[in-house]
Structure 1
Amino acid sequence: MTKSKFKNVSVKSTLLASALCLGVVAGATVPTLITGQPAANAEPVQVTAPAQPVDFSNVVKAVKPAVVSVQVKTEIEPQNIQNFSIPGFPEFKDLPKDHPFNRFFRRFGDEDEQGNEDKKRAVPHYAQAQGSGFFISEDGYVVTNHHVVDKGVEFVLVMDDGTKLDADLVGSDEKSDLALLKVKDPDRKFKYVKFADNLPAVGSWVLAVGNPFGLGGTVTAGIISADGRDISAKNYESFIQIDAAVNKGNSGGPTFNLNGEVIGINTAIYSPSGGNVGIAFAIPAGVAKDVINDLQHGGKVKRGWLGVHIQNVTEDIADSLGLADASGAMVTSTDETAPAFKAGVKVGDVILAVDGDEVKNTRELARHIGRADPESDVELTIWREDKEIKLTVHLGTYPEETASSAGGASPQQPAAPAELDEFGMNLQPGDEGLVITSVDPDGPAADKGLSRGDVIQSVGGKQVKSIDDVKNGVEAAKDNGRKTILMRIKTDAGIRFVGLPLKK
């Protein structure tokens, strides 16, 4: 019998071959067995964890005496009992003089029993509001929110040890929602805190201290969740977002870093229920320092003033102007008294930068100008007629009351409306341009929010007075390869620019 030539194969080799076969079948082989190349050893993210949980007690012990509860007494208008009514019951003024309810209503109303209005016994009515604040000086200056002290007539500060102190309002600024109080006739030195020079990075630990729901002296911890948040149309400053528990009554209280420095002033929460959901907003210390300094030295905040009405640049507007990006703030109106007008800024200009700092939208422009010193010079980078230009503007001081743009459409003229099928609307000549008399609800004009009564003042940067002016502007834009045409529109809400798409 012929002997097998495999007889001398070692058991070790046989087992190895079996292992390889089993490995391939089971899917347990490593890439080396398939490709013949060693596997790439990617390194996972590694973070060194703290040896023990963070202890905030030393920070709290140091800063808590500087934080106060703010109690505000506000006067409310007394209700006129003559306007009081009960469903199904006669009005007070219609009651006979001998009616038993007549004496009752007069007793609690504004007239005496003889009906003499010159003998009114108007008794003031008061309400109590509560918030938080903190000392920034040893002589008793306290920072809080404007909305905490708004309409207040008396102010009481309650310290961490329960001591109550009467205070005066030094100044308040609605735009930044900040206010400054001062202890009346201080007879002691107060422990105070300072503003941080820098904002900690997102993810850093912070502590919020305040007076939630009137409980006083409450400390919560969290992290900075985000920065640069825009949360209010009235306030053009950006905010710090934190996830430390903040509730009603925390307004005006400080948020600290772990060095005991104030990095923000708690001012708002996001809450569908009215309670904490882990999203709170604080005014950055950098903003607060400048505002509080102005309030402390004059009681009012001075801001730079450019004197323009502006709107954001949309994709359509950017395309119609030849801008690469939908960025900047577009000037919709100004007047001859404004610093911008005197420096040569024109309606339709797009402000791209201030002193070399990019301006992405209207809020950023407002921040740059508002933070600038009045009577100082700034350099504007402007997009005009397909190119960038530089203009130097000598800023004014932001007025307390600014006039809004005149609203309303111009009176319609007797000329018959003409149809502009390009955009789905009818136009009629008016004193300030072309009045829109009707809009096709399915047309481009309606899609961009134009409506009956709006006035088209310019097309493609040129003033229009007739339908032919509009048509000529449209043809010129098409000849230049534009996909959209820019129109200046006057509405009841003011003036804005709209980019309408052009038909091929």
Structure 2
Amino acid sequence: MSIRKSSLLFPRTSNWIGVGALGAAMLATTALPSMADEALADLVETVSPSVVTIIAEQTATPVQGQEFDFEGHPFGEFFKRFGGPEGFNMPQRGPSQGLGSGFVLDEAGYIVTNHHVVDNASTVTVRLSDDRTFDAEIVGTDPLTDIAVLKIDAGENLQAVDMGDSDVIRVGEDVVAIGNPFGLSSTVTTGIVSAKGRNISEGPYAEFIQTDAAINKGNSGGPLFNMEGEVIGVNSAIYSPSGGSVGLGFAVTSNIVEHIAADLRDDGQVSRGWLGVSIQTVSPQLAAAMGIDAATGALVSDVIADSPADGVLKQGDVILSFNNEAVESSGDLPILVGTTKAGTDSTLTILRDGKEQQIELTVGQHQSAAAEADTVVEDKFADSALGVTVAPLTEAARAEMGVNDTVNGVVVTELQPESPAAKAGLQRGDVIVRLGNQDVETPDALQSALDSVESDPALVLINRGGNQIFVAVELA
């Protein structure tokens, strides 16, 4: 099974299933529409003019020679390796055309759709519900939330949608999806909100509503309405073993969409807030190791130097809320901070040394950095309590592993299967920085920390590939 984007490349074949005489007779005997049916029909009639079709086209592109059969050509092998000579007509991959959905955000002609619908498109066309078509300008896109904003000039004001508050929707509420599955424009499907706050590995800044309203290829970018006719989400992905709807559709929440769309309209880019911390979810095991009652919040495992959090937050702090919004897990914090403008003074509620307190800091501009590491170390020292073999963190090891000079610890060179360290998730190449409340700069210091640790499981701080994280190790 896989998560699939729900945009559409025109299918090569279509499968149509007829309705037999018996089925037609059964359909003809349906009951008179109820008041609920009438209300739904009125809603669809009201909002449908705001739903549009997105046609994204990519121009023909030369195809690399190795993708074609040059057997029999006298210079076939040469062309495979180096391409054809001047004047030689290389094979071309024909233009491709994809369909998606969208909706009118503003009467001036701003359109919202998915980033993946228009990604790499050479031209984009918007078709309105009355079949008029207009060339569209891509104002900006945000791959991290899969949102794009387009602009058309229709020569008149368009009917815009009303945006709803996705925070107040409840699981079980009725919803309506309108879009263009398989190129069938203005298709309406209904269902309920199946779940809220879904994370489908699309990145830290996107949060999804799950629905069982039928979402298929071509629905991407289309609106998900509540029964008030307000947009509460942008249909973006489906979970399916076959590519067709199985009742697992996902829509980016409207509150995120509004923020991203406003940023893109402003200057075509998204400005995200940034604290400068590495965080992880407080698991029950970590909560026990830290001596705290509830497994909630975002645990600060590292603070980046010269970041907004530097000197304000500390390793081991648990962030419980951000600007009065609860942080129940590590996944909540990037969304809250990311939708805050840089330069905003913010209030955080944290748990530090077992005591709750509030701190103030100014949110910075988002930036990213990454480091990867392998390990080559010598001078091994075996520790049987954890089930690891460790070595000093030499300058050569730092250079090889990408660990900066501010990190001190011992390097895990070997790991015994089924050992406490292995069960806790430690890996070869991890740098053990701290165990319990004691820094570990040498193998002897690690032994000393083990001898004096008071909690079980023990809280261990490690550095992995330049990132610091906490793990809870149940000692043997």
Q: TM-score, normalized by length of structure 2?
A: 0.82
1:486 maps to amino acid: L
Q: Does 1:285 align with 2:254?
A: yes
Partner of 1:496: 469
Offset of residue 125 of structure 1 = 5.3
AA in 2 matched with 1:193 = V
CA contact (8 A) 2:302 2:467 kept: no
The CA deviation string for residues 172-199 of structure 1, in whole angstroms up to 9 with x for no partner, is: 112221111011x432332222212464
Deviation at 1:76, TM superposition (A): 7.4
Return 350-359 or 242-251, whichever deviates more: 350-359
Q: Report the equivalent of 2:64.
A: 80
User: In 2, Cα distance between the equivalents of 1:444 and 1:318?
Assistant: 18
- Point out which structure has higher relative CO (alpha carbons under 8 A, 6+ apart): 2
Instruction: Give, in angstroms, the shift of residue 468 of structure 1.
Output: 2.1
Say if 2:420 and 2:475, in contact at 8 Å, map to a contact too.
Answer: no
In structure 2, the residue matched to 1:18 is none
Bigger Rg, structure 1 or 2: 1
What CA distance in whole angstroms lies between the structure 1 residues aligned with 2:351 and 2:376? Answer: 34
Report the CA distance between 1:261 and its aligned residue.
2.1
- Secondary structure of the corresponding residue to residue 73 of structure 1: strand
Is the 2:62–2:90 contact (alpha carbons within 8 Å) kept by the matching residues of 1?
no
Matched, 1:137 2:100: no
Q: Which range is displaced more, 456-465 or 155-164?
A: 456-465
Residue 367 of structure 1 is matched in structure 2 by 335
SS at match of 1:232: coil
1:40-79 maps to which residues of 2 (within 5 A)?
52-55=35-38, 56-74=40-58, 78-79=62-63
Sort the Cα spacing of 1:331 and 1:233 in 2 relative to 1 into closer, same or farther, 3 A: farther
Cα distance in 1 between the residues matched to 2:459 and 2:432: 10
Shift of 1:253: 0.5
| Structure 2 residue 435 is the aligned partner of structure 1 residue 459 | yes
Query: Is the 1:409–1:454 contact (alpha carbons within 8 Å) kept by the matching residues of 2?
Result: no
1:218 and 2:194 are equivalent in the alignment: no
Instruction: State the SS of the aligned residue for 2:382.
Output: strand
1:146/1:179 contact within 8 Å kept: yes
User: Is contact 1:436-1:453 (8 Å) kept?
Assistant: yes
Q: How does 1:65-464 map to 2 (within 5 A)?
A: 65-74=49-58, 78-81=62-65, 83-84=66-67, 100-102=73-75, 110-112=83-85, 126-183=95-152, 185-197=153-165, 199-341=168-310, 343-399=311-367, 402-404=368-370, 406-408=371-373, 411-413=376-378, 415=379, 417-431=380-394, 432-464=408-440
Q: Amino acid of the residue matched to residue 132 of structure 2?
A: T
The answer to whether the 8 Å contact 2:278/2:467 transfers is no
Separation in structure 2 between the aligned mates of residue 408 and residue 105 of structure 1, nearest angstrom = 40
Deviations 1:28-66 (A, max 9, x none): xxxxxxxxxxxxxxxxxxxxxx96552222222222122
1:12 is matched with which residue? none
AA at the equivalent of 2:363: L
Shift of the 157–314 alpha-carbon distance from structure 1 to 2, 3 Å rule, reads same
Counterpart of 1:29? none
Contact residue 407 and residue 490 of structure 1 kept, 8 A: no
* Separation of aligned partners in 1, 2:280 and 2:313: 15
CA RMSD of aligned residues (A): 2.8
What is the one-letter code of the residue matched to 1:423? L
TM-score, length of structure 1 as denominator length: 0.78
- Name the aligned partner's letter for residue 452 of structure 2: A
CA deviation profile, 1:433-458 (whole Å, cap 9, x unmatched): 21112111021111122232222122
Query: 5+ residue gaps in structure 2?
Result: 1-32, 395-407
Q: Alpha-carbon deviation of 1:210?
A: 0.4
Question: For residues 49 and 374 of structure 2, what CA distance do their matches in structure 1 show?
Answer: 59
In structure 2, what residue type is equivalent to 1:54?
Answer: D
Q: Name the CA shift for 1:223/1:370 in 2 (closer, same or farther; >3 Å).
A: same
Residue 99 of structure 2 aligns to a residue in which SS? strand
What is the aligned-residue identity percentage? 37
**Long gaps (5+) in structure 1:** 1-49, 87-91
From the superposition, tell whether residues 129 and 235 of structure 1 become closer, same or farther in structure 2 (CA, over 3 Å). farther
Give the corresponding residue for 2:30. Answer: none
Match for 2:372: what amino acid? G
Q: How has the CA–CA distance of structure 1 residues 53 and 389 changed in structure 2, closer, same or farther, with 3 Å as cutoff? A: closer
Whether the 8 Å contact between 2:301 and 2:470 is mirrored in structure 1 is yes
- The verdict on how the C-alpha distance between 1:493 and 1:147 changes in structure 2, with shifts beyond 3 A counting, is farther
